[in-house]
A and B are shown apart, each in its own frame.
Chain A
Amino acid sequence: MGKSLLDKVWERHSVRELESGQTQLFIGLHLVHEVTSPQAFAMIREAGLGVPFPDRTFATVDHIIPTDTQVRPLADGQAETMMSAIESNCREFGIRLFTPESGHQGIVHVIGPELGLTQPGMTIACGDSHTSTHGAFGAVAFGIGTSQVRDVLASQCLAIQRPKVRRVEVTGRLRPGVYAKDVILDVIRRLGVKGGVGFAYEYAGEVFDAMSMEERMTVCNMSIEGGARLGYVNPDRTTVEYLRGRSFAPTGDAFTRAEAWWTSMASDPDASFHDRVSIDGRGIAPTVTWGINPGQAIGVDEKVPAAAAFAADERATVEDAYEYMGLAAGQAIAGTKIDVAFIGSCTNGRLSDLREAAKVARLGRVKPGVKALVVPGSQAVARAAEAEGLHETFRAAGFEWRLPGCSMCLAMNPDKLSGRQVCASSSNRNFKGRQGSPSGRTLLMSPAMVAAAAIEGAVVDVRDFLSKAPA
Chain B
Amino acid sequence: MTDQAKKSALLPVTRVSGRPIPLPGNDIDTDRIIPARFMTAITFDGLGELAFRDARFGADGKPLDHPMNDPRFRAKGPRVAIVNKNFGCGSSREHAPQAMWRWGVQAIVGESFADIFFGNCVAMGIPCVTASEADVASLLRAVEADPSQDLVVDLDAMTATRGGTSVPVSMPEGARTQLLRGTWDATRILVDALPKVRETADRLPYVGGFAR
Contact = CB atoms under 8 A, between A and B. Distances in A.
Contacts of B194: 52, 155
Interface in B179-212: 181, 183, 185-187, 189-191, 193-194, 196-197, 200-201, 203-207, 209-212
Nearest to B31: A431
Contact of B5 (A24, A43, A151): A43
Interface in A229-272: 229, 250, 254-255, 257-258, 261
A52 B93 CA distance: 25
B197 A26 contact: yes
Interface in A1-59: 12-16, 18-22, 24, 26, 28, 35-36, 38-39, 42-43, 46-47, 49, 52-53, 56
Interface in A163-197: 163, 193-194, 197
A156 interface: yes
A255 B190 contact: no
Given A412-B36, A438-B54, A145 B115 contact: no
A143 interface: yes
Nearest to B125: A147
Contacts of B190: 24, 151, 154-155, 157-159
Contacts of A159: 174, 178, 186, 189-190
B40 A227 contact: no
B170 interface: no
Contacts of A434: 31, 36
A175 to B, nearest CB: 30
B73 to A, nearest CB: 20
B99 to A, nearest CB: 12
A465 B211 CA distance: 51
A313 interface: yes
Contact of B112 (A16, A26, A197): A197
B162 interface: no
A258 B91 contact: no
B174 A161 contact: yes
Interface residues of B, number: 73
B26 A19 contact: no
A131 B8 CA distance: 27
A424 B23 CA distance: 30
B181 A194 contact: no
Nearest to A429: B90
6 contacts: A15-B200, A19-B183, A81-B41, A119-B206, A224-B116, A432-B31
Interface of B: 1-2, 4-5, 8, 25-27, 29, 31-32, 35-37, 39-44, 54, 59, 84-86, 89-95, 97-98, 112-116, 119-120, 123-124, 133, 172-175, 177-178, 181, 183, 185-187, 189-191, 193-194, 196-197, 200-201, 203-207, 209-212
Given A39-B42, A419-B59, 12 more contacts: A18-B183, A39-B44, A52-B194, A82-B41, A128-B92, A129-B90, A145-B92, A145-B120, A197-B113, A261-B210, A410-B91, A436-B36
